Structure 1
């Protein structure tokens, strides 16, 4: 073996923890991306799917650690990729088992399904706190000024800072206007939770842009030889990103998927309705959404604490095509992406 093994073991532990946390943070009515009635959340089939999934996660982590400890550290990327594929397959199997149990057990038989909307989220929307984007912009300006004073000809990190600020601003606007997650069983309470959840996501997103640009500022100083590239300086450079990462984890654990763990501002008795079952529009175990009749461009994913594009909208394909073109151009060297060194 060459080099320390513990970073590889830590990476395996992180990937395993990330995959295992998904079902724990998911809404009770969306185990493994399957929509179920609230009264069915304690079904034995769901508990069995969770146990099998968690055992598979643990077994995969043990096997990956054993591979690393035997000396195969040169291609840790393949080990992590294989681990990710295994965990995705385990999630797909759990998803499928619950789908079969729901269908065979007739879990929605006799229920009244509905869709709820909260007009206050349109008349009084959650407005992003744009003041939080100021540090990101100022850091980009400071980095550009230092580069000009230094007389450098390489401004790739400055361009990256500007790109981060612009993309985060666009993403913030898009998420603030995405379709809200309202539960027909508790429309007022779920709308209150979602409002608080959305406010936290938008604020963290804007703050994270500043953290990323702070890291790029220190990286720029290293590239331009304003400061020496030492271990302490490198650690300081990535501290802002670490702080943002910890903040996102803390928020996700506290709020849960779509904010279902948050306390609503007022108590509300449950209605006689269940959230409408629309599994037919979701693919890849609740990660891909395609509904040509839904005008929403962004929808909250059933799996994971973030949003996804509605592939039923032509605009979504234009966005994906633009990303693919940039990736191809970067691969052929037509577009140069910022890279240290």
Structure 2
């Protein structure tokens, strides 16, 4: 039982904790904790010290939260326990991040780190023509989706008259419905929507704007291209893992079993999330940790990235009405975030929020 609880309720919070702990090493060195700093300050003792303090706090307090969640999960079988553990972890990570950011930003302003430096913005014009869509990498997710649809159609005539639509923390049905196309294929519809979403993200990811280093624009542009290409493939494989989970869930619902294995359902998603974390650590945000053979002879320019902290709220939200970009690279995290100063981005965010709110009601 304890092994099942660990796999079901602890792995996801543990992955979140691991991601938070390694994030200072994943992000670009010139934006520690969301603060833009000159490259010459990357190894400043103050920044190094803040990373150390952050990791000690997140590691110790976060591990205590995960351990407490495990104990509660064993003693009290409640489906909300993992969600509460995740919220508690965010309550641990946020103060550590805010404190480190405040200390670095204060030192930057007090000592005027950008005084006398030439601030420049570089652009990669070659990304207007993106690489072809990697259909081979999309094949696993599409194959699992098609397999789910085919199995559902074949098994539909023999499905039980009553289907379980929801399960409690122990995997026991707590909400049922009469057999119909809607009740039998609810998860399939969600699976198709998730697949379409991931395919869309994979298609546009290579065209997102990079955050280039003006001192080494050619090598940083190559890093971004490699990162975007690899990120596309990792996202498609994650979509395949999600689809496997949806397939397993659908099969268990269609079987009419009195209980389901939540471990079997959650396992593929956790495996995919672990793959994303490994990729993030190896590549770094924007590909800053990737090697770029062929650019070793690039001459170093006398320029630094523009100090654009005023457009980043808390180092997490980007708001710049003069910037036409819809997506921009994250400062603390992996991938891209919306430009909340762009009306198109606001519309996309509102639409996504509406879908997230509507899905539970549709499923119900």
TM-score of the aligned structures, taking structure 2 as reference length: 0.81
Q: Which residue matches 1:270? A: 300
Q: Which residue matches 2:323? A: 294
Q: Deviations over 1:60-92 (max 9, x none)?
A: 135436755876864454343123123112101
Q: Which residue matches 2:30? A: 29
Picking from 122, 126, 134, the partner of 1:116 is: 122
8 Å contact kept, 2:36–2:309: yes
Offset at residue 132 of structure 1 (A): 2.1
Picking from 125, 132, 135, the partner of 1:127 is: 132
8 Å contact kept, 2:311–2:320: yes
8 Å contact kept, 1:295–1:313: yes
Structure 1: distance between partners of 2:67 and 2:138 = 44
Q: Which residue matches 2:168? A: none
8 Å contact kept, 1:194–1:259: yes
TM-score of the aligned structures, taking structure 1 as reference length: 0.86
| Residue pairs, 1:158-173, within 5 angstroms | 158-173=188-203
Superposed CA RMSD in Å reads 2.7
Structure 1: distance between partners of 2:269 and 2:356 = 24
Picking from 96, 102, 105, the partner of 1:90 is: 96
Offset at residue 158 of structure 1 (A): 1.5
8 Å contact kept, 2:127–2:207: no
Structure 1: distance between partners of 2:6 and 2:207 = 43
CA spacing shift, 1:157–1:17, aligned 2, 3 Å = same
CA spacing shift, 1:69–1:225, aligned 2, 3 Å = closer
Q: Which residue matches 2:269? A: 241
SS at match of 1:224: helix
CA spacing shift, 1:125–1:10, aligned 2, 3 Å = closer
Structure 2: distance between partners of 1:99 and 1:47 = 14
Q: More displaced, 52-61 or 303-312?
A: 52-61
Q: Which residue matches 2:86? A: 80
Picking from 280, 285, 288, the partner of 1:257 is: 285
Q: Deviations over 1:207-252 (max 9, x none)?
A: 2222222222222222111899675xx6555554344233322221
Are positions 1:318 and 2:351 aligned together?
no
Are positions 1:220 and 2:250 aligned together?
yes
CA spacing shift, 1:329–1:203, aligned 2, 3 Å = closer
Gaps of 5+ in 1: none
Structure 2: distance between partners of 1:138 and 1:263 = 33
| Residue pairs, 1:48-197, within 5 angstroms | 48-61=49-62, 63-64=64-65, 67-68=68-69, 74=76, 75=81, 77-122=83-128, 124-151=129-156, 152=159, 153=181, 154-197=184-227
8 Å contact kept, 1:215–1:237: yes
